[in-house]
Protein backbone atom coordinates (compact mmCIF):
# COMPACT_ATOMS: atom_id res chain seq x y z
CA UNK A 1 0.00 0.00 0.00
CA UNK A 2 1.35 3.46 -0.81
CA UNK A 3 1.89 5.75 2.11
CA UNK A 4 -0.87 7.99 0.78
CA UNK A 5 -3.34 5.10 0.75
CA UNK A 6 -2.22 4.01 4.21
CA UNK A 7 -2.84 7.51 5.49
CA UNK A 8 -6.28 7.48 3.93
CA UNK A 9 -7.12 4.19 5.66
CA UNK A 10 -5.84 5.48 8.98
CA UNK A 11 -7.77 8.71 8.58
CA UNK A 12 -10.96 6.84 7.78
CA UNK A 13 -10.43 4.57 10.77
CA UNK A 14 -9.80 7.56 13.02
CA UNK A 15 -12.94 9.26 11.73
CA UNK A 16 -15.01 6.15 12.51
CA UNK A 17 -13.56 5.94 16.02
CA UNK A 18 -14.13 9.66 16.55
CA UNK A 19 -17.86 9.27 16.00
CA UNK A 20 -18.30 5.74 17.38
CA UNK A 21 -20.93 5.26 20.05
CA UNK A 22 -19.58 4.52 23.51
CA UNK A 23 -21.18 1.78 25.53
CA UNK A 24 -22.83 2.37 28.90
CA UNK A 25 -21.83 -0.80 30.75
CA UNK A 26 -23.09 0.06 34.22
CA UNK A 27 -25.00 2.62 36.27
CA UNK A 28 -24.96 3.56 39.93
CA UNK A 29 -26.56 6.42 41.79
CA UNK A 30 -27.37 7.91 45.16
CA UNK A 31 -30.26 10.32 44.64
CA UNK A 32 -33.07 11.91 46.62
CA UNK A 33 -35.47 9.66 44.66
CA UNK A 34 -33.61 6.49 45.49
CA UNK A 35 -30.55 4.34 45.07
CA UNK A 36 -32.11 1.44 43.14
CA UNK A 37 -33.50 1.44 39.61
CA UNK A 38 -36.86 0.36 41.02
CA UNK A 39 -37.14 3.30 43.43
CA UNK A 40 -35.75 5.73 40.86
CA UNK A 41 -38.22 4.59 38.17
CA UNK A 42 -41.14 4.64 40.61
CA UNK A 43 -40.58 8.29 41.43
CA UNK A 44 -39.48 9.28 37.92
CA UNK A 45 -42.46 7.95 36.01
CA UNK A 46 -44.99 8.95 38.68
CA UNK A 47 -43.52 12.46 38.90
CA UNK A 48 -43.18 12.03 42.65
CA UNK A 49 -41.02 14.73 44.16
CA UNK A 50 -38.53 14.17 47.00
CA UNK A 51 -38.39 17.91 47.70
CA UNK A 52 -39.13 18.91 51.29
CA UNK A 53 -39.20 22.13 53.28
CA UNK A 54 -36.29 22.71 55.62
CA UNK A 55 -35.90 25.47 58.15
CA UNK A 56 -32.45 27.03 58.26
CA UNK A 57 -31.69 28.80 61.50
CA UNK A 58 -28.45 30.76 61.74
CA UNK A 59 -27.67 32.91 64.74
CA UNK A 60 -28.38 36.57 64.11
CA UNK A 61 -30.32 35.96 60.91
CA UNK A 62 -33.98 35.56 60.10
CA UNK A 63 -35.05 31.93 59.86
CA UNK A 64 -35.02 30.80 56.25
CA UNK A 65 -37.35 28.19 54.86
CA UNK A 66 -35.80 26.35 51.96
CA UNK A 67 -36.82 23.67 49.48
CA UNK A 68 -34.30 20.83 49.58
CA UNK A 69 -34.03 17.28 48.31
CA UNK A 70 -31.84 15.12 50.54
CA UNK A 71 -30.67 11.54 50.08
CA UNK A 72 -31.31 8.73 52.50
CA UNK A 73 -27.60 7.98 52.76
CA UNK A 74 -25.25 7.31 55.66
CA UNK A 75 -21.86 8.60 54.56
CA UNK A 76 -20.08 7.11 57.55
CA UNK A 77 -20.86 3.65 56.19
CA UNK A 78 -18.50 4.13 53.25
CA UNK A 79 -14.96 2.88 53.68
CA UNK A 80 -12.35 4.83 51.77
CA UNK A 81 -9.19 3.21 50.48
CA UNK A 82 -7.18 6.05 51.98
CA UNK A 83 -8.86 5.46 55.38
CA UNK A 84 -9.21 9.22 55.59
CA UNK A 85 -12.45 10.97 56.51
CA UNK A 86 -14.62 11.65 53.45
CA UNK A 87 -16.72 14.60 52.48
CA UNK A 88 -20.35 13.46 52.27
CA UNK A 89 -20.32 14.03 48.52
CA UNK A 90 -17.16 11.97 48.06
CA UNK A 91 -18.75 9.15 50.03
CA UNK A 92 -21.77 9.31 47.70
CA UNK A 93 -19.47 9.33 44.68
CA UNK A 94 -17.64 6.26 45.92
CA UNK A 95 -20.85 4.39 46.65
CA UNK A 96 -22.38 5.26 43.26
CA UNK A 97 -19.21 4.32 41.39
CA UNK A 98 -18.98 0.99 43.20
CA UNK A 99 -22.58 0.22 42.21
CA UNK A 100 -21.84 1.12 38.57
CA UNK A 101 -18.67 -0.98 38.46
CA UNK A 102 -20.52 -3.93 39.99
CA UNK A 103 -23.27 -3.69 37.39
CA UNK A 104 -20.65 -3.54 34.63
CA UNK A 105 -18.92 -6.57 36.19
CA UNK A 106 -15.58 -4.84 35.81
CA UNK A 107 -12.85 -7.24 36.86
CA UNK A 108 -10.09 -4.98 38.11
CA UNK A 109 -7.63 -7.86 38.19
CA UNK A 110 -7.86 -8.52 34.47
CA UNK A 111 -8.52 -5.17 32.78
CA UNK A 112 -5.56 -2.97 31.84
CA UNK A 113 -5.86 -0.31 34.49
CA UNK A 114 -3.37 1.91 32.66
CA UNK A 115 -6.32 2.40 30.32
CA UNK A 116 -8.96 2.87 33.03
CA UNK A 117 -9.88 6.54 33.49
CA UNK A 118 -11.82 8.52 36.08
CA UNK A 119 -13.75 11.52 34.77
CA UNK A 120 -15.75 13.16 37.50
CA UNK A 121 -17.63 16.42 37.94
CA UNK A 122 -18.55 18.49 40.95
CA UNK A 123 -19.65 22.08 41.20
CA UNK A 124 -18.78 22.85 44.80
CA UNK A 125 -16.93 19.65 45.73
CA UNK A 126 -15.95 19.85 49.40
CA UNK A 127 -17.85 23.05 50.18
CA UNK A 128 -20.01 21.20 52.70
CA UNK A 129 -17.00 19.99 54.66
CA UNK A 130 -15.32 23.38 54.44
CA UNK A 131 -18.50 24.99 55.70
CA UNK A 132 -18.77 22.70 58.72
CA UNK A 133 -15.06 22.71 59.58
CA UNK A 134 -14.62 26.48 59.37
CA UNK A 135 -17.84 26.92 61.30
CA UNK A 136 -16.38 24.73 64.07
CA UNK A 137 -13.05 26.59 63.85
CA UNK A 138 -14.56 30.04 64.35
CA UNK A 139 -17.44 29.00 66.56
CA UNK A 140 -16.11 26.33 68.88
CA UNK A 141 -12.42 27.00 68.30
CA UNK A 142 -11.94 23.48 67.01
CA UNK A 143 -8.82 22.89 64.99
CA UNK A 144 -8.77 22.22 61.31
CA UNK A 145 -7.85 18.63 60.58
CA UNK A 146 -4.63 17.39 58.98
CA UNK A 147 -6.75 16.15 56.09
CA UNK A 148 -9.12 19.09 55.59
CA UNK A 149 -7.38 20.14 52.36
CA UNK A 150 -7.55 16.61 50.98
CA UNK A 151 -11.23 16.37 51.86
CA UNK A 152 -12.35 19.63 50.27
CA UNK A 153 -10.15 19.83 47.17
CA UNK A 154 -12.13 19.71 43.91
CA UNK A 155 -10.53 16.42 42.90
CA UNK A 156 -11.11 14.73 46.26
CA UNK A 157 -13.66 12.34 44.75
CA UNK A 158 -11.48 11.66 41.71
CA UNK A 159 -8.61 10.78 44.02
CA UNK A 160 -10.70 8.39 46.12
CA UNK A 161 -12.19 6.75 43.02
CA UNK A 162 -8.78 6.30 41.41
CA UNK A 163 -7.44 4.78 44.64
CA UNK A 164 -10.42 2.51 45.04
CA UNK A 165 -10.33 1.17 41.49
CA UNK A 166 -6.56 1.36 41.04
CA UNK A 167 -7.13 3.47 37.94
CA UNK A 168 -3.92 4.52 36.23
CA UNK A 169 -5.28 6.30 33.15
CA UNK A 170 -6.51 9.90 33.07
CA UNK A 171 -8.11 10.91 36.37
CA UNK A 172 -9.56 14.37 36.03
CA UNK A 173 -12.00 16.55 37.97
CA UNK A 174 -14.32 18.79 35.99
CA UNK A 175 -15.74 21.90 37.58
CA UNK A 176 -18.28 23.78 35.51
CA UNK A 177 -21.13 24.26 37.96
CA UNK A 178 -24.40 22.71 36.76
CA UNK A 179 -22.74 21.09 33.72
CA UNK A 180 -19.82 19.48 35.60
CA UNK A 181 -20.83 15.85 35.35
CA UNK A 182 -22.24 16.17 31.83
CA UNK A 183 -18.88 17.55 30.72
CA UNK A 184 -17.02 14.81 32.61
CA UNK A 185 -19.11 12.15 30.86
CA UNK A 186 -18.66 13.75 27.45
CA UNK A 187 -14.93 14.21 27.83
CA UNK A 188 -14.62 10.55 28.81
CA UNK A 189 -16.53 9.65 25.63
CA UNK A 190 -13.98 11.62 23.66
CA UNK A 191 -11.06 9.97 25.45
CA UNK A 192 -12.47 6.51 24.68
CA UNK A 193 -13.25 7.38 21.07
CA UNK A 194 -9.80 8.88 20.68
CA UNK A 195 -8.21 5.69 21.92
CA UNK A 196 -6.57 7.24 24.98
CA UNK A 197 -8.39 4.88 27.35
CA UNK A 198 -10.62 1.79 26.98
CA UNK A 199 -12.96 2.22 29.91
CA UNK A 200 -13.88 4.98 32.33
CA UNK A 201 -15.80 5.50 35.52
CA UNK A 202 -17.60 8.79 35.04
CA UNK A 203 -20.22 10.96 36.64
CA UNK A 204 -20.45 13.58 39.32
CA UNK A 205 -21.80 14.66 42.64
CA UNK A 206 -22.53 17.51 44.99
CA UNK A 207 -23.56 17.48 48.63
CA UNK A 208 -24.39 21.00 49.67
CA UNK A 209 -26.98 20.75 52.39
CA UNK A 210 -24.94 22.50 55.07
CA UNK A 211 -26.03 25.85 56.51
CA UNK A 212 -23.43 28.11 54.89
CA UNK A 213 -23.81 26.58 51.45
CA UNK A 214 -27.61 26.61 51.58
CA UNK A 215 -27.57 30.21 52.78
CA UNK A 216 -25.33 31.07 49.82
CA UNK A 217 -27.83 29.62 47.37
CA UNK A 218 -30.66 31.36 49.19
CA UNK A 219 -28.84 34.68 48.93
CA UNK A 220 -28.63 34.26 45.16
CA UNK A 221 -32.45 34.34 44.97
CA UNK A 222 -32.64 31.32 42.70
CA UNK A 223 -34.22 28.97 45.21
CA UNK A 224 -37.94 28.34 45.21
CA UNK A 225 -39.84 28.98 48.45
CA UNK A 226 -41.58 25.76 49.52
CA UNK A 227 -45.36 26.29 49.46
CA UNK A 228 -46.71 25.74 52.99
CA UNK A 229 -49.45 23.36 51.85
CA UNK A 230 -47.34 21.43 49.32
CA UNK A 231 -43.60 21.85 49.85
CA UNK A 232 -42.80 19.06 47.38
CA UNK A 233 -44.18 21.25 44.57
CA UNK A 234 -41.61 24.03 45.13
CA UNK A 235 -39.81 23.46 41.84
CA UNK A 236 -42.09 23.88 38.79
CA UNK A 237 -40.07 23.77 35.56
CA UNK A 238 -41.54 25.61 32.55
CA UNK A 239 -44.60 26.58 34.57
CA UNK A 240 -46.09 30.05 34.31
CA UNK A 241 -45.71 30.34 38.08
CA UNK A 242 -42.21 28.86 38.36
CA UNK A 243 -40.16 30.31 41.18
CA UNK A 244 -36.71 28.67 41.05
CA UNK A 245 -35.25 25.37 42.11
CA UNK A 246 -34.85 23.17 45.14
CA UNK A 247 -31.29 22.41 46.13
CA UNK A 248 -30.52 18.71 45.98
CA UNK A 249 -27.67 16.37 46.79
CA UNK A 250 -26.50 13.13 45.26
CA UNK A 251 -24.11 11.33 42.97
CA UNK A 252 -24.42 9.31 39.80
CA UNK A 253 -21.87 7.16 38.01
CA UNK A 254 -21.64 5.37 34.69
CA UNK A 255 -19.12 2.90 33.37
CA UNK A 256 -18.30 3.91 29.79
CA UNK A 257 -16.45 1.53 27.56
CA UNK A 258 -15.46 1.03 23.93
CA UNK A 259 -17.36 -1.71 22.12
CA UNK A 260 -14.05 -3.43 21.37
CA UNK A 261 -13.03 -3.51 25.03
CA UNK A 262 -16.43 -4.79 26.11
CA UNK A 263 -16.31 -7.53 23.48
CA UNK A 264 -12.76 -8.52 24.45
CA UNK A 265 -13.72 -9.03 28.09
CA UNK A 266 -16.93 -10.82 27.16
CA UNK A 267 -19.11 -8.22 28.80
CA UNK A 268 -22.26 -9.14 26.87
CA UNK A 269 -24.79 -6.75 25.45
CA UNK A 270 -25.45 -3.36 27.02
CA UNK A 271 -28.79 -1.63 26.61
CA UNK A 272 -27.47 1.89 26.03
CA UNK A 273 -24.82 3.84 24.20
CA UNK A 274 -23.80 7.45 24.33
CA UNK A 275 -23.99 8.54 20.71
CA UNK A 276 -23.15 12.22 20.78
CA UNK A 277 -21.75 15.00 22.92
CA UNK A 278 -20.98 18.65 22.57
CA UNK A 279 -19.85 21.38 24.89
CA UNK A 280 -19.34 25.08 24.35
CA UNK A 281 -19.65 28.35 26.21
CA UNK A 282 -22.12 31.19 25.81
CA UNK A 283 -19.34 33.68 26.41
CA UNK A 284 -21.92 36.31 27.26
CA UNK A 285 -22.85 36.43 30.96
CA UNK A 286 -21.99 34.62 34.16
CA UNK A 287 -25.57 33.61 34.97
CA UNK A 288 -27.89 34.70 32.16
CA UNK A 289 -28.12 31.82 29.70
CA UNK A 290 -27.84 32.57 26.01
CA UNK A 291 -30.19 30.84 23.59
CA UNK A 292 -27.69 31.03 20.75
CA UNK A 293 -25.06 29.15 22.74
CA UNK A 294 -27.53 26.43 23.70
CA UNK A 295 -28.70 26.06 20.11
CA UNK A 296 -25.12 25.65 18.92
CA UNK A 297 -24.48 23.02 21.61
CA UNK A 298 -27.59 20.95 20.82
CA UNK A 299 -26.92 21.04 17.06
CA UNK A 300 -23.30 20.07 17.58
CA UNK A 301 -24.32 17.11 19.77
CA UNK A 302 -26.76 15.90 17.08
CA UNK A 303 -24.01 16.20 14.44
CA UNK A 304 -21.64 14.30 16.71
CA UNK A 305 -24.21 11.51 17.01
CA UNK A 306 -24.77 11.55 13.26
CA UNK A 307 -28.52 12.01 13.63
CA UNK A 308 -31.17 14.62 12.87
CA UNK A 309 -33.37 16.44 15.35
CA UNK A 310 -36.33 14.32 14.26
CA UNK A 311 -34.51 11.16 15.43
CA UNK A 312 -34.64 12.34 19.05
CA UNK A 313 -37.70 11.05 20.90
CA UNK A 314 -37.16 12.74 24.23
CA UNK A 315 -35.39 15.69 25.81
CA UNK A 316 -34.57 15.83 29.50
CA UNK A 317 -34.23 19.59 29.78
CA UNK A 318 -31.89 21.41 32.13
CA UNK A 319 -35.14 22.93 33.45
CA UNK A 320 -34.08 24.76 36.58
CA UNK A 321 -37.45 26.49 36.90
CA UNK A 322 -35.82 29.90 37.13
CA UNK A 323 -37.46 32.66 35.14
CA UNK A 324 -34.53 33.33 32.81
CA UNK A 325 -33.21 29.77 32.62
CA UNK A 326 -36.41 28.14 31.42
CA UNK A 327 -37.15 30.98 28.99
CA UNK A 328 -33.78 30.64 27.27
CA UNK A 329 -33.98 26.85 27.14
CA UNK A 330 -37.57 26.80 25.85
CA UNK A 331 -36.49 29.10 23.04
CA UNK A 332 -33.39 27.09 22.17
CA UNK A 333 -35.23 23.74 22.14
CA UNK A 334 -37.96 25.32 19.96
CA UNK A 335 -35.35 26.54 17.51
CA UNK A 336 -33.57 23.17 17.18
CA UNK A 337 -36.48 20.73 17.50
CA UNK A 338 -39.58 22.73 16.71
CA UNK A 339 -42.51 21.47 18.72
CA UNK A 340 -42.05 17.84 17.72
CA UNK A 341 -39.93 16.46 20.55
CA UNK A 342 -41.47 15.82 23.98
CA UNK A 343 -39.71 17.61 26.83
CA UNK A 344 -39.35 16.47 30.45
CA UNK A 345 -37.51 18.18 33.32
CA UNK A 346 -36.62 16.04 36.29
CA UNK A 347 -35.11 18.61 38.68
CA UNK A 348 -38.68 19.03 39.93
CA UNK A 349 -38.40 15.69 41.73
CA UNK A 350 -34.70 15.26 42.64
CA UNK A 351 -33.74 18.89 43.07
CA UNK A 352 -30.80 20.68 41.54
CA UNK A 353 -27.79 18.51 42.33
CA UNK A 354 -25.42 20.94 40.57
CA UNK A 355 -22.29 18.92 39.70
CA UNK A 356 -24.20 15.65 39.98
CA UNK A 357 -27.20 16.94 38.02
CA UNK A 358 -26.00 16.16 34.49
CA UNK A 359 -25.26 12.54 35.37
CA UNK A 360 -28.51 11.98 37.29
CA UNK A 361 -30.53 13.57 34.48
CA UNK A 362 -28.74 11.51 31.85
CA UNK A 363 -29.65 8.40 33.83
CA UNK A 364 -33.28 9.60 33.85
CA UNK A 365 -33.04 9.86 30.03
CA UNK A 366 -31.59 6.33 29.88
CA UNK A 367 -34.48 5.05 31.97
CA UNK A 368 -36.88 6.68 29.51
CA UNK A 369 -35.15 4.76 26.70
CA UNK A 370 -35.23 1.55 28.72
CA UNK A 371 -38.91 1.81 29.61
CA UNK A 372 -39.99 3.39 26.33
CA UNK A 373 -41.83 5.92 28.42
CA UNK A 374 -41.33 9.61 29.13
CA UNK A 375 -41.42 10.98 32.67
CA UNK A 376 -43.87 13.80 33.35
CA UNK A 377 -42.69 17.20 34.50
CA UNK A 378 -43.82 17.16 38.12
CA UNK A 379 -45.74 20.17 39.38
CA UNK A 380 -46.39 21.51 35.89
CA UNK A 381 -50.06 22.51 35.78
CA UNK A 382 -50.02 25.42 33.36
CA UNK A 383 -46.97 25.89 31.17
CA UNK A 384 -45.75 29.43 30.59
CA UNK A 385 -47.85 30.71 27.69
CA UNK A 386 -44.72 31.98 25.98
CA UNK A 387 -43.27 28.47 25.62
CA UNK A 388 -44.44 26.63 22.52
CA UNK A 389 -43.19 23.11 23.27
CA UNK A 390 -44.59 19.63 23.82
CA UNK A 391 -44.15 19.25 27.57
CA UNK A 392 -44.85 15.85 29.13
CA UNK A 393 -47.53 16.79 31.65
CA UNK A 394 -49.57 14.92 34.20
CA UNK A 395 -48.70 11.28 33.60
CA UNK A 396 -45.83 9.41 32.04
CA UNK A 397 -46.25 9.08 28.29
CA UNK A 398 -45.71 5.94 26.28
CA UNK A 399 -42.89 6.20 23.74
CA UNK A 400 -42.76 2.88 21.90
CA UNK A 401 -39.85 2.61 19.53
CA UNK A 402 -37.98 5.59 20.98
CA UNK A 403 -34.39 5.53 19.72
CA UNK A 404 -32.58 8.55 21.09
CA UNK A 405 -32.88 10.84 24.09
CA UNK A 406 -31.02 14.06 24.74
CA UNK A 407 -29.98 15.54 28.09
CA UNK A 408 -29.18 19.24 28.45
CA UNK A 409 -26.94 20.78 31.09
CA UNK A 410 -26.45 24.53 31.04
CA UNK A 411 -24.20 26.02 33.70
CA UNK A 412 -23.39 29.20 35.55
CA UNK A 413 -20.36 30.50 33.76
CA UNK A 414 -22.00 29.86 30.41
CA UNK A 415 -20.81 26.28 29.87
CA UNK A 416 -23.29 24.20 27.89
CA UNK A 417 -23.09 20.42 27.63
CA UNK A 418 -25.44 18.20 25.65
CA UNK A 419 -25.38 14.41 25.57
CA UNK A 420 -27.28 12.21 23.11
CA UNK A 421 -28.00 8.70 24.38
CA UNK A 422 -29.37 5.87 22.33
CA UNK A 423 -30.61 2.32 22.59
CA UNK A 424 -27.72 0.06 21.77
CA UNK A 425 -29.71 -1.94 19.21
CA UNK A 426 -30.21 1.17 17.10
CA UNK A 427 -26.59 1.37 16.09
CA UNK B 1 -6.30 0.63 87.96
CA UNK B 2 -5.00 -1.01 84.86
CA UNK B 3 -4.72 1.13 81.76
CA UNK B 4 -3.86 -1.78 79.53
CA UNK B 5 -7.15 -3.55 80.01
CA UNK B 6 -9.05 -4.09 76.77
CA UNK B 7 -12.21 -3.28 78.71
CA UNK B 8 -11.00 0.08 79.99
CA UNK B 9 -13.13 3.07 79.00
CA UNK B 10 -10.14 4.76 77.38
CA UNK B 11 -9.36 1.76 75.23
CA UNK B 12 -13.00 1.32 74.29
CA UNK B 13 -13.24 4.93 73.21
CA UNK B 14 -10.24 4.82 70.92
CA UNK B 15 -11.30 1.46 69.57
CA UNK B 16 -14.67 2.97 68.67
CA UNK B 17 -12.96 5.86 66.87
CA UNK B 18 -10.77 3.45 64.92
CA UNK B 19 -13.69 1.30 63.97
CA UNK B 20 -16.20 4.05 63.15
CA UNK B 21 -14.06 6.75 61.57
CA UNK B 22 -11.15 4.78 60.18
CA UNK B 23 -12.93 1.53 59.32
CA UNK B 24 -10.41 -0.64 61.14
CA UNK B 25 -11.78 -4.11 61.85
CA UNK B 26 -12.55 -4.54 65.55
CA UNK B 27 -10.69 -7.84 65.54
CA UNK B 28 -7.52 -5.98 64.54
CA UNK B 29 -7.75 -3.66 67.53
CA UNK B 30 -6.15 -4.77 70.80
CA UNK B 31 -4.05 -3.04 73.47
CA UNK B 32 -0.96 -4.72 72.04
CA UNK B 33 -1.63 -3.51 68.47
CA UNK B 34 1.07 -1.14 67.27
CA UNK B 35 -0.20 2.08 65.66
CA UNK B 36 1.92 1.19 62.66
CA UNK B 37 -0.02 -2.06 62.25
CA UNK B 38 -3.44 -0.45 61.95
CA UNK B 39 -3.17 -0.08 58.20
CA UNK B 40 -3.16 3.71 58.48
CA UNK B 41 -0.56 5.86 56.74
CA UNK B 42 1.17 8.74 58.53
CA UNK B 43 -1.50 11.25 57.53
CA UNK B 44 -4.33 9.01 58.68
CA UNK B 45 -2.45 8.43 61.97
CA UNK B 46 -2.23 12.18 62.52
CA UNK B 47 -5.96 12.43 61.79
CA UNK B 48 -6.57 9.63 64.28
CA UNK B 49 -4.59 11.37 67.01
CA UNK B 50 -6.53 14.59 66.34
CA UNK B 51 -9.78 12.66 66.68
CA UNK B 52 -8.59 11.12 69.96
CA UNK B 53 -7.51 14.49 71.31
CA UNK B 54 -10.86 16.05 70.46
CA UNK B 55 -12.77 13.15 71.97
CA UNK B 56 -10.86 13.38 75.26
CA UNK B 57 -10.56 17.17 75.24
CA UNK B 58 -6.79 17.12 75.63
CA UNK B 59 -3.62 17.65 73.68
CA UNK B 60 -0.95 14.98 73.49
CA UNK B 61 2.47 16.65 73.36
CA UNK B 62 4.55 15.23 70.52
CA UNK B 63 7.46 14.59 72.86
CA UNK B 64 5.24 12.23 74.82
CA UNK B 65 3.90 10.39 71.83
CA UNK B 66 4.76 10.78 68.18
CA UNK B 67 2.33 8.49 66.36
CA UNK B 68 4.81 7.98 63.54
CA UNK B 69 7.32 6.43 65.91
CA UNK B 70 7.66 2.69 65.40
CA UNK B 71 6.36 0.28 68.00
CA UNK B 72 3.95 2.53 69.86
CA UNK B 73 0.96 0.45 70.89
CA UNK B 74 -2.64 1.35 71.61
CA UNK B 75 -1.87 0.49 75.24
CA UNK B 76 0.83 3.17 75.26
CA UNK B 77 -1.62 5.62 73.72
CA UNK B 78 -4.14 4.82 76.47
CA UNK B 79 -1.52 5.40 79.14
CA UNK B 80 -0.60 8.79 77.69
CA UNK B 81 -4.26 9.78 77.41
CA UNK B 82 -4.93 8.77 81.01
CA UNK B 83 -1.83 10.55 82.27
CA UNK B 84 -2.64 13.71 80.31
CA UNK B 85 -6.20 13.76 81.56
CA UNK B 86 -5.48 12.91 85.23
CA UNK B 87 -6.39 15.80 87.48
CA UNK B 88 -8.49 17.46 84.78
CA UNK B 89 -10.81 14.70 83.81
CA UNK B 90 -13.37 14.13 86.51
CA UNK B 91 -15.34 11.92 84.20
CA UNK B 92 -13.51 10.07 81.51
CA UNK B 93 -15.74 9.73 78.49
CA UNK B 94 -16.71 6.14 77.90
CA UNK B 95 -17.60 7.17 74.35
CA UNK B 96 -16.01 10.00 72.43
CA UNK B 97 -17.81 13.19 73.36
CA UNK B 98 -18.08 13.99 69.71
CA UNK B 99 -16.57 12.07 66.88
CA UNK B 100 -16.05 14.57 64.10
CA UNK B 101 -17.26 13.60 60.67
List every span in chain A annotated with CATH 3.40.47.10. Answer: 22-264, 274-426
Which among B21, B41, B54 has CB closest to A85?
B21
Residue A383 or residue B99, greater confidence: A383
Residue B89 confidence (pLDDT): 44
Is A178 among the residues known to form the active site? yes
Residue B88 confidence (pLDDT): 52
Q: Please tell me the distance in Å from A142's CA to the nearest CA on chain B.
A: 8
CB contact under 8 A, A146 and B47: yes
Res. B2: pLDDT tops 80: no
Substitution target in B47, B49, B52 with the highest count of A β-carbons within 10 Å is B47
CB contact under 8 A, A145 and B39: no
Single out the residue of A412, A319, A403 nearest to residue A360, CA to CA: A319
Q: What is the pLDDT of residues B48-69, one digit of tens each?
A: 999 999 899 999 887 877 777 7
Tens-digit pLDDT string for chain A (427 aa): 566 677 777 777 776 777 899 999 999 999 999 999 999 999 999 999 999 999 999 999 999 999 999 999 998 888 888 888 899 999 999 999 999 999 999 999 999 999 999 999 999 999 999 999 999 999 988 888 899 999 999 999 999 999 999 999 999 999 999 999 999 999 999 999 999 999 999 999 999 999 999 999 999 999 999 999 999 999 999 999 999 999 999 999 999 999 999 999 999 889 999 999 999 999 999 999 999 999 999 999 999 999 999 999 999 999 999 999 999 999 999 999 999 999 999 999 999 999 999 999 999 999 999 999 999 999 999 999 999 999 999 999 999 999 999 999 999 999 999 999 999 874 4
CB contact under 8 A, B101 and A142: no
Q: Please tell me the distance in Å from A152's CA to the nearest CA on chain B.
A: 13
Instruction: Show the domains of chain B with their CATH numbers.
Output: 9-85 (1.10.1200.10)
Q: Which residues of B56-80 are buried (b: 16+ CB within 10 A; e: fewer)?
A: bebebeeeebebeeeebbbbbbbbb
Is the CB of residue B20 less than 8 Å away from at least one CB of chain A? Answer: yes
Residue B85 confidence (pLDDT): 85
CB contact under 8 A, B54 and A85: no
Q: Which residues of B touch A128 (CB under 8 A)?
A: none
Residue A5 confidence (pLDDT): 72
Q: Which residues of A touch B21 (CB under 8 A)?
A: 76, 85
Q: Report domain A274-426's class.
A: alpha beta
Is the CB of residue B19 less than 8 Å away from at least one CB of chain A? Answer: no
CB contact under 8 A, A143 and B50: yes
Give pTM, 2 decimals: 0.91
Q: Which residues of B touch A142 (CB under 8 A)?
A: 54, 100
Single out the residue of A332, A331, A259 nearest to residue A295, CA to CA: A332
CB contact under 8 A, A76 and B40: no
Q: Which residues of B touch A80 (CB under 8 A)?
A: 23
State the architecture of A22-264 in CATH terms. Answer: 3-Layer(aba) Sandwich (3.40)
Q: Which residues of A touch B43 (CB under 8 A)?
A: 84, 146-147, 150
Residue B66 confidence (pLDDT): 77
Q: Which residues of B touch A210 (CB under 8 A)?
A: none
Q: Which residues of B touch A145 (CB under 8 A)?
A: 47, 50, 100
CB contact under 8 A, B101 and A146: no
Substitution target in A74, A76, A78, A83 with the highest count of B β-carbons within 10 Å is A83
* CA-based nearest residue in chain A for residue B38: A83
Is A352 among the residues known to form the active site? yes
Residue A427 confidence (pLDDT): 43
CB contact under 8 A, B44 and A132: no
Rounded distance between C-alpha atoms, residue B32 and residue B24, angstroms: 15
CA angle A241, A246, A249 (to 5 degrees): 160
* CA-based nearest residue in chain B for residue A86: B101
Residue A381 confidence (pLDDT): 97
Which ipTM value was assigned to this complex? 0.72
Is A318 among the residues known to form the active site? yes
- Strands of A64-69's sheet, edge to edge? A52-56, A64-69, A247-248
Amino acid sequence: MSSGAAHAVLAASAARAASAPVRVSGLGFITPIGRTVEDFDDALFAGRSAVRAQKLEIKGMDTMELAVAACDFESNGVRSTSRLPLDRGTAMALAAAQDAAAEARLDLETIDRDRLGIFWGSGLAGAGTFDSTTSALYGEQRRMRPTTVLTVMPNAAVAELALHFGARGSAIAYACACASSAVAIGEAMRAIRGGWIDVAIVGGHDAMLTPGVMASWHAMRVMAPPPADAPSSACRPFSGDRAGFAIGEGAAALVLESEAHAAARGAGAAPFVLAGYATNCDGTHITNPDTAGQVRAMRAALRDAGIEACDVGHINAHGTATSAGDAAEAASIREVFGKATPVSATKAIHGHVLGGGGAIELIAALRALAREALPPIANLQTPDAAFDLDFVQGEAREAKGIRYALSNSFAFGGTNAVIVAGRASER
Amino acid sequence: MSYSDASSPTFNSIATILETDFKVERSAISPATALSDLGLDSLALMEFVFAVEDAFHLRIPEDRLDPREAGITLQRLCEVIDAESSGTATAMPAQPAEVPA
